[in-house]
Homo-oligomer: A and B are copies of this chain.
Amino acid sequence: MEVSLIRYTPEPELTVAAAARLCYSPDQVDELLEGLTLTKARKLINQLRQMGHLSPFEHASFTFGIAGVSRALSHQLVRHRIASYSQQSQRYVAFSNLEVVVPPTIAAKPEAQDKFDAAIAAIAEAYQSLLELVPAEDARYVLPNACKTNLVMTMNARSLLNFFTLRCCTRAQWEIRELAWRMLDLVSEVAPSLFADAGPNCWKDIGCQEGAMTCGDPPSRIR
């Protein structure tokens, strides 16, 4: 998996703070930006997070390049609807080489790895044969969830906070959890105050909300 932050709203923390101050001020946004230091902005953002007033967070957008993740992951990912996606097409791209994601539980057991490899080899052979007989968009019906795919995804900071709450949690599937943590690392570097308490609910005052489905583990920054 390769994850990069390829674009984002310049000065995301100042942008969010100026928008938030506008709501309570007679001044225009240009005037608000002039008098705003990063220290003041971060203090205000912390207050907004604590009160759950997250709408100003929407003014900061983040665009990620995501490569080498499985189609199992991407099918889950695109369920997040307050976001924008461009994904490599299996209809239009014919793959000469079948690259796959191997789940760690499979990699850890030679017997499982063997079964997995044999299936992938059979699929790869069938796919190449089918490419000569039918359109790529139909040949791909044999391709597995493990197939690697590439995406560009854009989410604003508020939608990202929701994404991190759900997908950094140990109850999320391991691959999308890894993606979520990688994304959180990237955005935390460029806009630390926006994401200061991002992650699963168990870290926060609110605590685990998974009810009977809780993992039961103590909250921890260990991923």
State the majority secondary structure of interface residues on A: mixed
Q: Tell me, yes or no, whether A79 is within 8 Å of chain B by CB.
A: yes
In the complex, which residue of chain B has the Cβ closest to the Cβ of A9? B7
C-alpha spacing A82/B84, complex, angstroms: 11
Q: For this complex, into which size category does the number of interface residues on chain A fall? A: 35 or more
Task: Report the stretch among A37-45, A61-69, A185-193, A215-223 that lies at the interface.
Answer: A61-69
Give this chain's copy count: 4
Q: Are A88 and B23 in contact (CB under 8 A)?
A: yes
Asked whether A7 and B2 contact (CB < 8 A) given A106-B130, A122-B122, the answer is no
Residues of B within 8 A of A26 (CB): 88, 93, 95
Which A residues are closer than 8 A to B by beta carbons?
2, 4, 6-11, 15, 18-20, 22-30, 33, 47, 50-52, 55-56, 58-59, 61, 63, 65, 67, 70-72, 74-75, 78-79, 81-82, 84-93, 95, 100-103, 105-106, 109, 111-112, 115-116, 118-120, 122-123, 125-127, 129-130, 133-135, 137-138, 140-146, 150-152, 154, 156, 173, 206, 209-213
Q: Which of B8, B85, B141, B146 contacts A141 (CB 8 A)?
A: B146
Q: Are B119 and A126 in contact (CB under 8 A)?
A: yes
